């Protein structure tokens, strides 16, 4: 099997992802074939025998949004667990500007290279893969058109020249010309170095709550939470302070045992004396009380020092001093 | 001018929404007697709603009652009909201001009521004063407002401060932080400090003490003023005057 390697945990069986592509659908009809196979289109889909579905997206953002929209938290969380192989593939996808995403119940989602995702074809040429890695590295260091094309060519050879059609080549050229390909490559590189996370529904990770399906929210805040935690799942704890008897946090740190809430707030937010500020006071107070109830800390993570200073001021101003030990603000630059 | 804040810390048995609403109305009327500007166009600012309170308070109970409840928080014995006679308890956070717009320079009154325990819950009432209203930047007015507020809520401690100043003098292992003017509910402090330590110590008829670090307007960046406050803090902290009383 080529280009589709295990780089996540399958939520169906809990083992490392070993996708079993069944058949590509919605491929180009007609007589045109590449190495005997029908070329893929951007609407092509491929079912995984374990019930996931692979789809093609032109950018990583599209793929992320698609995953979020479908509420596929498993795939989303595992998207960051990209293997070295995916890294190589990611560079190629950065070049080609195409991301394949695998969605669906039990799906393993990974951005991986090309539109390809071609089933079967065992290529055991390890040395050749290393050569690709070298080419890919050259692309990262110097992401110019020439290096990008080398990776495209490598990948094209690697997959037996099955997929890369003329149209795709033009697309890749256009993307490189606009720099989008480079941005995608960098984004995927970030994902590659991300710490592996698990966050499987039902898991407690040694804490007082357990991972559960997140609320079906949308918007910028949800996107930020997703980007930071790598999942749409949330960590749910029981509490006497909420009407529902439970409270969902964006994330949980099993090392520090802290509840995490990601705040997509920049300089000066929330503005003073507004209902947003009042709402933040309420959040801070309640989350600190819930942390106290569980003998831990709620950690608000923001993206810069100005945001941290504003929230620290807010807590100082509006949260009872007895609750200060139970809430803190940190900057998360990841 | 920096924004002056008044905060009173008080202890109470579980406070029902009915009693809290009545107390809040009485407190607002008291404030208006001290300074008529507190009567300017009151707005209940809670959650996502900003609702005007009528000058005759005819809609106060209904609005305030609704404003007390957060949709997600837990309450006991919740009467969903909301007729103002509810005995529900729980945490109440209600803001009242006369800020029609965010940029308005007006006052903001923040009630923060905790009801976690069967008795001796710790709560606060805070007023953020307008920055550019000279009438509010007067030691005599401020000390009177502090005294009235603290007495009304039966506070264990209350102070007037600016945020920057409070952050410079914040103490460890204390429940309260001292400010420019400080209220103590009894005369315990008299044996701990002298007039050399502060600018003034005023005893009220009812035996409370108002301790002022400096009677001139507070300056966050004046090291002398900050040092004086820190020394005052360190003198009284070991005696538990900045902590809740143990029952």
Contact B102 A289 (CB under 8 A): no
pLDDT category of residue B114 using cuts at 50, 70 and 90: very high
Contact B102 A316 (CB under 8 A): no
Mean pLDDT of the A175-185 span:
52
pLDDT, tens digit, 9 for 90 and up, residues A71-115? 434 333 333 333 333 333 434 443 343 344 444 333 333 333 333
Q: Do the Cβ atoms of A140 and A87 come closer than 8 Å?
A: no
Q: Which of B49, B93, B97 sits opposite A281 (nearest CB)?
A: B93
- Contacting residues of A for B102, CB less than 8 Å apart: 271, 273-274
Alpha helices (H) in A179-270, listed in sequence order: 180-193, 220-229
The pTM for the full model equals 0.66
d(CA A227, CA B115): 37
pLDDT higher than 50, residue A7: no
More confident residue, A225 or A58: A225
pLDDT higher than 60, residue A123: no
Least Cα distance to B46 among B6, B104, B13, B91 occurs for: B91
d(CA B82, CA B69): 10
pLDDT higher than 80, residue A55: no
Q: What are the distances in angstroms from CA A141 to CA A133, A135, A149, A290?
A: 12, 10, 14, 47
Q: Is any Cβ of chain A less than 8 angstroms from the Cβ of B97?
A: yes
Ranking A163-172, B23-32, B96-105, B171-180 by mean pLDDT, the lowest is: A163-172
> Who's near A326: CB < 8 A, 6+ residues apart?
A288, A289, A291, A292, A296, A297, A298
pLDDT category of residue B79 using cuts at 50, 70 and 90: low
Least Cα distance to A257 among A235, A286, A289, A240 occurs for: A235
Helix, strand, or coil (residue A20)? coil
pLDDT category of residue B6 using cuts at 50, 70 and 90: very high
Strand spans (E) along B39-115: 43-46, 49-52, 75-76, 89-90, 92-97, 108-113
Q: Do the Cβ atoms of B70 and B78 come closer than 8 Å?
A: no
Between strands B181-184 and B155-162, the pairing is: antiparallel
- Contacting residues of B for A278, CB less than 8 Å apart: 45-47, 93, 95
**Identity of the highest mean pLDDT range in A164-173, A201-210, A247-256, B135-144:** A247-256
pLDDT higher than 50, residue A171: no
**Identity of the highest mean pLDDT range in A7-11, A66-70, A134-138, B162-166:** B162-166
> Who's near A126: CB < 8 A, 6+ residues apart?
none
- Contacting residues of B for A273, CB less than 8 Å apart: 97, 99, 102, 108, 128
Looking up tokens 């909420």 gives A242
The alpha-carbon gap from A305 to the nearest alpha carbon of chain B, in Å, equals 18
User: What H or E segment, with its residue span, contains residue B236?
Assistant: helix B223-236
Least Cα distance to A204 among A176, A229, A236, A226 occurs for: A236
Dump the DSSP string for A61-76. HHHHHHHHHTT-HHHH
Domain range summary for chain A, segments of one domain joined by +? 21-193, 210-331
**Identity of the highest mean pLDDT range in A179-183, B167-171, B221-225:** B167-171
Q: Is any Cβ of chain B less than 8 angstroms from the Cβ of A273?
A: yes
Q: Which of B74, B128, B175 sits opposite A242 (nearest CB)?
A: B74
pLDDT, tens digit, 9 for 90 and up, residues A137-152? 454 444 444 554 554 4
Q: Given this model, what pLDDT does residue A3 score?
A: 52
More confident residue, A18 or B160: B160
Q: Given this model, what pLDDT does residue B42 score?
A: 82
The alpha-carbon gap from A241 to the nearest alpha carbon of chain B, in Å, equals 5
Interface mutation vs chain A, best among B114, B117, B159, most A CBs within 10 Å: B114
Q: Given this model, what pLDDT does residue B103 score?
A: 66
pLDDT higher than 70, residue A286: yes
Contact B72 A316 (CB under 8 A): no
pLDDT category of residue A12 using cuts at 50, 70 and 90: low
Q: Given this model, what pLDDT does residue A160 score?
A: 41
pLDDT higher than 50, residue B77: yes
The tokens of A239 are what? Answer: 């509490």
pLDDT, tens digit, 9 for 90 and up, residues B117-170? 888 999 999 999 988 888 888 899 999 999 999 999 999 999 999 999 999 999
Q: Do the Cβ atoms of B147 and B210 come closer than 8 Å?
A: yes
User: What H or E segment, with its residue span, contains residue B165?
Assistant: helix B163-169
Alpha carbon distance, N-terminus to C-terminus of chain B: 40
Ranking A42-46, A189-193, B114-118 by mean pLDDT, the lowest is: A189-193
Q: Given this model, what pLDDT does residue A99 score?
A: 40
Q: Given this model, what pLDDT does residue A169 score?
A: 40
Give the angle B41-B46-B48 at the CA atoms, nearest 5°.
Answer: 110
Q: What are the distances in angstroms from CA A326 to CA A75, A262, A283, B178?
A: 32, 16, 13, 22
pLDDT higher than 70, residue B171: yes
Average confidence score pLDDT of chain A: 67
The tokens of B13 are what? Answer: 């048995």
* Chain B nearest-CA residue for A247: B72
Mean pLDDT of the B84-113 span:
82
Q: Given this model, what pLDDT does residue A62 score?
A: 67
More confident residue, A59 or A333: A333
d(CA B238, CA B171): 11
d(CA A19, CA B199): 77
- Cα radius of gyration rounded to whole Å, chain A: 22
Least Cα distance to A222 among A69, A101, A333 occurs for: A69
The torsion angle over the Cα atoms of residues A285, A290, A292 and A297, rounded to 10 degrees, is -80
Least Cα distance to B133 among B101, B108, B163 occurs for: B108
Q: Given this model, what pLDDT does residue A219 score?
A: 76
The pair phi, psi for residue A246, each rounded to 5°, is -150, 160
Contact B102 A273 (CB under 8 A): yes
Helix, strand, or coil (residue B202)? strand
Q: Given this model, what pLDDT does residue A217 score?
A: 67
Q: Do the Cβ atoms of B124 and B9 come closer than 8 Å?
A: yes
pLDDT higher than 90, residue A133: no
What does the DSSP 8-state code read for residue B137? S
Looking up tokens 């960051």 gives A80
């Amino acid at each position: 099997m080529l280009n589709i390697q295990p780089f996540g945990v399958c939520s169906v069986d809990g083992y490392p992802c070993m996708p079993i592509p069944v058949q590509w659908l919605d491929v180009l009809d007609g007589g045109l074939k590449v190495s005997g196979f029908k070329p893929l289109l951007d609407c092509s889909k491929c079912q995984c025998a374990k019930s996931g579905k692979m789809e093609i997206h032109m950018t990583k953002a599209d793929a992320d949004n698609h995953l979020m929209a479908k509420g596929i938290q498993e795939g989303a969380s595992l998207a960051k667990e990209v293997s070295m192989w995916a890294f190589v593939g990611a560079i190629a996808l950065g070049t080609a500007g195409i991301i394949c995403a695998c969605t669906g119940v039990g799906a393993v989602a990974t951005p991986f290279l090309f539109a390809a995702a071609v089933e079967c074809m065992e290529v055991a040429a390890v040395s050749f893969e290393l050569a690709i890695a070298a080419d890919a590295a050259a692309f990262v260091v110097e992401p110019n058109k020439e290096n990008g094309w080398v990776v495209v060519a490598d990948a094209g050879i690697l997959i037996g020249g099955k997929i890369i059609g003329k149209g795709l080549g033009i697309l890749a050229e256009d993307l490189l010309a606009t720099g989008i390909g480079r941005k995608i490559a960098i984004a995927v590189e970030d994902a590659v170095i991300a710490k592996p996370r698990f966050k499987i529904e039902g898991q407690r990770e040694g804490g007082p709550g357990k991972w559960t399906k997140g609320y079906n929210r949308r918007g910028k805040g949800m996107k930020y939470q997703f980007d930071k935690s790598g999942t749409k799942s949330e960590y749910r704890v029981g509490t006497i302070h909420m009407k529902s008897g439970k409270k969902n946090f964006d994330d949980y740190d099993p090392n520090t045992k802290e509840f995490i809430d990601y705040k997509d707030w920049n300089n000066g937010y929330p503005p003073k004396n507004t209902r947003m500020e009042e709402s933040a006071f309420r959040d801070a107070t309640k989350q600190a009380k819930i942390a106290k109830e569980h003998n831990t800390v709620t950690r608000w993570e923001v993206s810069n020092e100005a945001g941290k200073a504003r929230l620290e001021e807010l807590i100082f101003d509006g949260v009872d001093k007895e609750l200060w030990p139970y809430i803190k603000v940190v900057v998360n630059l990841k | 001018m920096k924004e002056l804040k008044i905060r009173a810390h008080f202890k109470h048995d579980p406070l029902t929404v009915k009693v809290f609403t009545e107390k809040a109305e009485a407190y607002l009327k008291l404030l208006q007697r001290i300074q008529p500007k507190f009567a300017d166009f009151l707005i209940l600012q809670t959650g996502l709603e900003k609702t005007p309170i009528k000058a005759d308070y005819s809609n106060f109970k209904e609005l305030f009652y609704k404003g007390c409840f957060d949709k997600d928080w837990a309450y006991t014995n919740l009467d969903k009909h909301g007729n103002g006679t509810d005995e529900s308890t729980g945490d109440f956070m209600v803001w009242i201001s006369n800020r029609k717009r965010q940029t308005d320079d007006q006052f903001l009154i923040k009630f923060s009521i905790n009801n976690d325990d069967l008795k001796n819950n710790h709560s606060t009432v805070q007023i953020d004063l307008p920055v550019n209203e000279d009438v509010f930047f007067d030691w005599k007015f401020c000390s009177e407002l502090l005294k009235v507020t603290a007495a009304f809520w039966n506070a264990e401690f209350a102070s007037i401060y600016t945020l920057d100043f409070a952050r410079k003098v914040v103490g460890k292992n204390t429940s309260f932080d001292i400010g420019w003017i400080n209220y103590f509910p009894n005369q315990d402090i008299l044996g701990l400090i002298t007039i050399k330590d502060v600018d003034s110590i005023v005893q009220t008829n009812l035996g409370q003490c108002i301790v002022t670090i400096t009677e001139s307007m507070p300056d966050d960046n004046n090291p002398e003023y900050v040092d004086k406050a820190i020394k005052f803090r360190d003198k009284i902290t070991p005696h538990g005057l900045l902590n809740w009383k143990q029952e």
